[in-house]
């Protein structure tokens, strides 16, 4: 086997190099481990700021009554619950996640809120979405793209199921734009965050992977180019909290 062939069959899992065929299962193990404390850890890790990132994303979605929305890597359903109200009775919202543990928690959380009429739950891989062509008006992909093995395949799959005129919103950790913030963020990510995971979620290793996966994810301009290469148009991004997180927008025409 040539070195090039070997390279094509491997990918990164945090800072480790692993077989591409194994990454999805390894990511699944991470989320099986953290799913029960996922919402609590989000609040603690971001000091609650993740709620502002999500609010900005929802405001950028321009979702209207009667539309079809896909909340991809929807996890515990924060976006789905909001979109359910925005789409109304004639709309449709699908919470999709590759991880069954996260999907189950999201479904129970939303049902406890009493929002079930226009919501469906689908276990799905972003690289090969099980939906019809030109189906969704809006797709959100929040904090999930960095865990995907073949990001280009996922973006192409998303483009296929979007309607002409539909939009994709990718909310993801990114690269801080200020050197001083980058230094603080590195200390927090690699020293504070894993310890927090150990204390709260009894899982230090999963939160060490989280920090590593963020560093391995494409930066703002690289992701913008990837979306354009996949066929999205009018691709822009907004840096949030100094670039710790970025919201990328792209349209299908």
pLDDT tens by residue, 228-240: 999 999 999 999 9
Strands of the chain, DSSP E: 10-13, 16-19, 68-72, 92-97, 119-123, 136-142, 162-173, 233-240, 245-251
Annotated ligand binding at 42? The verdict is no
Residue 12 has pLDDT above 60, yes or no: yes
Annotated ligand binding at 126? The verdict is yes
Residue 2 has pLDDT above 80, yes or no: no
Annotated ligand binding at 76? The verdict is yes
Q: What is the third-level CATH fold of 33-176+211-251?
A: Rossmann fold (3.40.50)
pTM of this prediction exceeds 0.75: yes
pLDDT of residue 130: 98
Q: Mean pLDDT across the stretch 128-135?
A: 98
Percent of the chain at pLDDT exceeding 90? 73
pLDDT tens by residue, 163-216: 999 999 999 999 999 999 999 999 999 999 999 988 888 888 888 998 999 999
Two structure tokens written together for 90: 């004639």
Q: Where are the domains of the chain?
A: 3-32, 33-176+211-251
Q: Could you tell me which residue, 113 or 171, shows the higher pLDDT?
A: 171
Annotated ligand binding at 97? The verdict is yes
Identify the three-state secondary structure at position 101: helix
Q: Bridge partners of 196? A: none
pLDDT of residue 115: 62
Q: Mean pLDDT across the stretch 140-155?
A: 96
H or E element in which residue 233 lies: strand 233-240
Q: Report d(CA 13, CA 26) in Å as an integer.
A: 8
Torsion of CA 68, 141, 75, 98, to 10 degrees: 90
pLDDT of residue 25: 84
Residue 37 has pLDDT above 80, yes or no: no
Q: Mean pLDDT across the stretch 55-60?
A: 98
């Amino acid at each position: 086997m040539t070195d090039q062939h070997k390279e094509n069959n491997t990918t990164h899992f945090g800072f480790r190099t692993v077989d591409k065929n194994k990454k999805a299962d390894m990511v699944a193990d991470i989320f099986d481990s953290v799913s029960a404390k996922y919402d609590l850890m989000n609040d603690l890790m971001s000091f609650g700021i993740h709620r502002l990132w999500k609010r900005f994303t929802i405001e950028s979605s321009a979702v209207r009554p009667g539309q079809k929305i896909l909340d991809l890597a929807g996890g515990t359903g924060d976006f789905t619950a909001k979109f359910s109200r925005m789409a109304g009775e004639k709309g449709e919202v699908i919470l999709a996640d590759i991880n069954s543990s996260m999907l189950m928690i999201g479904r129970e959380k939303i049902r406890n809120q009493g929002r079930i009429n226009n919501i469906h739950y689908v276990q799905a891989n972003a690289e090969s979405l099980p939906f019809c062509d030109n189906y969704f008006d809006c797709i959100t992909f929040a904090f999930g793209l960095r865990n995907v093995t073949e990001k280009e395949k996922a973006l192409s799959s998303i483009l296929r199921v979007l309607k002409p005129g539909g939009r994709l919103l990718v909310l993801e950790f990114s690269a801080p734009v200020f050197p001083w913030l980058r230094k603080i963020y590195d200390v927090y990510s690699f020293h504070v965050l894993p310890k927090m995971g150990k204390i709260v979620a009894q899982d230090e290793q999963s939160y060490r992977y989280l920090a590593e996966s963020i560093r391995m994810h494409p930066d703002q301009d690289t992701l913008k180019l990837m979306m354009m290469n996949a066929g999205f148009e009018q691709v822009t991004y907004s840096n949030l909290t100094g670039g710790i997180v970025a919201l990328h927008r792209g349209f299908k025409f």
